[in-house]
Amino acid sequence: MSATSSQIPTILAVDDSAVMQGLVKQALSKEFRVLVTDNAVDALSTIYHEQVAVLLLDVSMPGIDGLELCRTVRSLPQFQNLPIVMLTGRDGAFDKVQGRLAGATEYLTKPFDADMLREVINKFINR
């Protein structure tokens, strides 16, 4: 791995929608290395093998949903401080509470504002 790629923070976006994956990449790829996966199993594999700075999770996914994945990641000691941003179409108060209970650091709703997403991610990276 070259020195430059290790200095660029890696963002992992987990979303079963290719359109959303594209929008996230478009919004973030100028500042960050953006990896995408469409399921929880690949997401877990990725966070084990890559130095992920922030995890973006969609709640509604087939199989293991974003809330379950969030809880799983939080149960692993080495990822307890990993910033997890729920990026989802569910915007009810109950959904946000569920996201927080699952361990989400931040909760953003779709359609997301690209500037807002970058701002939230930078807040976690520039600590």
Note whether residue 24 is domain-resident.
yes
Q: Is the pLDDT of residue 7 over 80?
A: yes
Q: Is the pLDDT of residue 2 over 50?
A: no
Give residue 60's domain range. 9-125
Note whether residue 71 is domain-resident.
yes
Give the total number of structural domains in the chain.
1
- Give tens-digit pLDDT for 22-58: 999 999 999 999 999 999 999 999 999 999 999 999 9
Note whether residue 74 is domain-resident.
yes
Q: Is the pLDDT of residue 80 over 70?
A: yes
Note whether residue 2 is domain-resident.
no
Note whether residue 3 is domain-resident.
no
What is the number of alpha carbons within 13 Å of residue 25 lying toward its C-beta? 12
For the question of whether the overall pTM of this predicted structure is more than 0.95, the answer is no
What is the number of alpha carbons within 13 Å of residue 61 lying toward its C-beta? 29
pLDDT band at residue 127, thresholds of 50, 70 and 90? Answer: low
Q: Residue 31 sits in a domain of what CATH number?
A: 3.40.50.2300
Cα 48 vs. chain centroid, distance in angstroms?
Answer: 14
Note whether residue 76 is domain-resident.
yes
Residues 6+ apart with CB under 8 A from 35: 10, 11, 12, 13, 46, 50, 52
